[in-house]
Amino acid sequence: MLSIEQREFIKNYSALYKTADNSEKPLDEHAKLRQMNKRIRDRALQAMKDLKYIAETMPEDQLNQIFSFENLRPLLESITSPELTIAETSKKR
């Protein structure tokens, strides 16, 4: 799904934006950040399409293992809990 570079980008998101603001060429740096954001969005959307395809085609016994409550809970909590988002955690630092 995500490359190691993309995981690091997400982990250091707010620091990268501060660095870009303070660079000699902030427009170039922000363009690179926007490009990485787009790549991550594209991969996330493709992953959701792939999960939909799996949900529509795999046998039920496999779906029960893939889409179990234990597996889906962390994702759903992250999506529905604003305090767990990167933007909110960055504000707390």
Question: Is the model's pLDDT at 93 over the cut of 50?
Answer: no
With beta carbons less than 8 A apart as the criterion, state whether 13 and 90 touch.
yes
**pTM score over 0.75:** no
Query: Residue 84 gets which letter from DSSP?
Result: G
One domain for residues 50 and 65: no
Q: What is the mean pLDDT of the chain?
A: 85
Phi-psi region of 56 (alpha: psi -120 to 50; beta: other; left: phi over 0): alpha
| Tens-digit pLDDT profile for residues 2-21 | 889 888 888 888 888 888 88
**Which residue range(s) make up the domain with 69?**
60-93
One domain for residues 51 and 84: no
One domain for residues 49 and 72: no
Length of the chain counted residue by residue: 93
